[in-house]
Chains A and B, each alone.
Chain A
Amino acid sequence: MKELLQRLGALDESASAALKIITFFDTLLEQGAGIEPFVRGAAVLSGFPAGFAHPVHRIWVRVDGEGNRLPVEETAEAARSWPHKDLGDGSGGIVWLERPGTPGVNDALLLERAASGLHITLERVSPLDLDDAGAIEVLLSATSTDDARRKAARRLRLREGSLVKVVAAPADAAPTHARSAVLGTQVGPMLAAIVEAAAPDPAGRAGVGDPGPIRELDRSWSQAQLALRVGSRVSPVTHWSDLGALGALAQAADANPAVDHEDLAAVAEVMAEQWGEDTLDALLLTDSVRAAAQLLGLHHSTVQARQAQVETILGFRVGAGLGRARLAAALVLHRVRTVRFAG
C-alpha cells in the first residue's frame, strides 16, 4: 500500500494523480473521517511528513510519510517555511507538507484538498457558536451559505433530508414548538417556528409555508409570512398551499406596493364597519347566507342584510360566480397592503 501510494509522487505529472488525490479526500469527507486521516493522507500520498496546526482548537498533528505520528511544536509559525495552505476561514489553522527542495506538481492541490477537508470536518465536530434563535434566523434567511445552513440545522438537531416547513404566528402567540423564535419582518415581528412537514396546525392565528428540504426553509418562511398576513379571525390558519393563485397575487402585491384598484378602497370601507371583516370572511368561506350566519353565530336575516349592505358598497354581487373571486382577490390585496404586526 505504502509503495503504491507513494508512487503518486513519481506519477504526479499526470492528471490521473490529481484525480486520485481528489477521490481520496472526497471519500474521507463523505465517510465522515476525523482530523488525523486528512493529515495522514497528505503525508502518505506525498511520501513526506505533513502537519496541521490549529491554535483556536489547540490541535497539533504531524505525521510522517508512512503514517506514523511525529512530535510537533505547538506553533503554526514554523510551518510557513514549508509549502502550506491556510484554512482560509481566518481561524489561523494551517496545513503543511515538509517536502524539501522543489515542490511536487500536485502539492498545491494536495494541500488545498486537505485544508478544505479539515475545515469542513472541524465544523462538523465542533460545538456551535450559535443559539437556537440565531440558527432559526440563519435557516430562514435567503442569503445564508450552505455551510451556515448545515451548521444551523445541526444546532437545531434537524436531520439532513428531513422535510420541514415554517409556521408564522403573531409575535405574542405562545410558542408551541421547540424550534421557534421571534424574528423581525417588514410588517413587524412574527413568531417563526420550524416544524416537521406533518406537524398539525397550531391553535390561534398562523400562516403555514410549504414543506420542503431544510435548505429551502427561507422560501417556506416567506410563504408562511404572507399566509399569516392574509388570514383572519374567522379563518385563523392559512396554508400557503391552499391559496393557489391568490398566493401569487399576494406575492406580487407585496413586491409592488403600487398595485391598486378601486375595489380595494371599497373593501377598506366595508372593513371600517365593526362587523365588516368577519362578514366578508364568512361570505367567502361558505356557500350560503345560512351557512355564513351559522359560522358567525348570527341569525341569517342579519347576515342577509349585511350582505346587501356589502354589495351596495362594493358595487357587485358577492354571493356567487365572479363576484366571489373578485372579493377574494380584493381582500388578499387589501390585507397585504394593510395588515401589520406589533411587538
Chain B
Amino acid sequence: MTHVTSSPAAPPLDPELAAALALQLGGDPSPIGIDDVAVKRAEEAQVALEVLEQIKERDLVVVEGTATSHDGAHVPVSVVHRKDRGPSSPVILYIHGGGMMMGNRWSGADVIFDWVEHYNAVVATVEYRLAPEHPFPAPQEDCYAALVWLEESSRRLGVNLEAGLVAGISAGAGLAASVCLMARDRGGPRVGGQLLLAPMLDDRNDSVSARQFPRGMWNRQENELGWRSLLGPLHGADDVPYVAAPARCADLRGLPPAFIEVGSAEVFRDEAVEYASKLWAAGGEAELHVWAGGFHGFQTFDHTALARASAGALRSWMDRRLGFTGRA
C-alpha cells in the first residue's frame, strides 16, 4: 500500500445521495478558502433577494426588529409569519449556517417557509455579525441578543417564547446550542427546545469523524478555517470558552430538550453524538438521529429517501415538542 494521506476509512455515502452529489458537483468540490468567502457572501446576498421575492409571492408578513448586542451593536432580526397566524402560533428563533463566516438571515429559508406554512409559526431570523471580521464573541452575543429581544418583544409579537424553539443549521446549530448555554448561565429567557441540525460544536476538529472527512461537503479543512476565523488568537488554545464551542462544556444540566441530527458521513458526526450523550448523562432530553450515508447538507437533496426520512423525523419531533401536528 502506498497511500500518502492517512485519513481513516470512512462510512460510505448513501447511494442516492452519492448520485445526486456526483451530478451536482461533477467531482470533488475544491475546499472553500478564505479568498472564496467574499464571493460566497455575494452569491448569498443574491439568493436573499430571491427569498424576499418569495415572501412577497407567498403573501407573508415580515416585521423588522433590532436587537442590541453586548457591545451596543445593532442586530437586525426579521420576524416572518402568515397573515392568518393565531395566538397559539409557535415561535422559533432561526439561526442560519455558513461556517461562522458566511450566510445571511435568509440563508436556508426553505425551513422558515416550511415552519411558517406547516405550523403557522412565527419565525424570527437573526443577522448576526460574521467572522473573521467579527470574531467570538460577536456571533454568539448577537444571537443571544436576538433571543433577549424576542422575549422583550413577546407581548408585542404575541408569542410565548417558553413554548418556542431555538433552531439552527450547521454553524447556526452550534450558535443555537451556545445561546441555550448562555441563557442558562445568565438566567436568561427559557425556551421549549433546541433544534440542532448538523451542529458545529467542537473547535478541536480532531474527532474520528473529523479525520475521516478531509474532503467533501464541509470537510475538515473548511471546518478548520471556520473555527480559526471565529476564534482568532484563541484558536488552538486549551481554554476556549464553551460559549464559543459548546462541545467544551462539561456540564449540560438545565438545558432545553434537544433534537440533534447529523449524517454518518460528515465531520460533525462524533461531536453531535457526544453532545446528545452528555445531555442524557446530565438528565436532559435529546433525540438523536444519525442518518446512514448522509454527508453535510444532505437534507437539501430533498428528493432522496434519506432527506425525506430526515424531514419526517424532524417534523415528528416538532409535532411532539410543540404539542400539535401541523395545521393547514
Contact = CB atoms under 8 A, between A and B. Distances in A.
Nearest to B20: A1
Contacts of B308: 67
Interface in A11-31: 20, 23-25, 27-28, 30-31
B12 A5 contact: no
B308 to A, nearest CB: 8
Interface stretch (A37-45, A150-158, A217-225, A284-292): A37-45
B302 A2 contact: yes
Contacts of B88: none
A23 B23 contact: yes
A32 interface: yes
A161 to B, nearest CB: 16
B305 A44 contact: no
Nearest to B14: A31
The interface size bin for chain B is 10 to 19
Contacts of A34: 15
A12 to B, nearest CB: 14
B19 interface: yes
A25 B16 CA distance: 9
Nearest to A16: B26
Where chain B touches its partner, the secondary structure class is helix
B293 to A, nearest CB: 8
Contacts of B24: 1, 4
Contacts of A67: 302-304, 308
B325 interface: no
Contacts of A20: 23, 26
B304 A27 contact: no
Contact of B16 (A4, A37, A45, A66): A37
B16 A28 contact: yes
A1 B16 contact: no
Interface string B283-301: 0000000000000000011
A36 interface: yes
A315 B217 CA distance: 80
Contact of B13 (A23, A25, A31, A36): A31
B15 A24 contact: no
A5 B26 CA distance: 13
Interface in B164-180: none
B18 interface: yes
B15 A28 contact: yes
A82 B169 CA distance: 42
Those 4 A-B pairs whose CB atoms lie nearest each other, nearest first: A67-B303, A33-B15, A31-B15, A27-B19
Interface of A: 1-2, 4-5, 20, 23-25, 27-28, 30-34, 36-37, 40-41, 44-45, 66-67
16 contacts: A2-B302, A4-B24, A23-B23, A25-B19, A28-B16, A30-B15, A31-B13, A33-B16, A33-B19, A36-B305, A37-B15, A37-B16, A37-B19, A40-B16, A40-B304, A66-B303
Given A24-B19, A67-B308, 12 more contacts: A1-B301, A1-B302, A1-B303, A23-B23, A27-B22, A31-B12, A31-B13, A31-B19, A32-B15, A40-B16, A66-B303, A67-B304
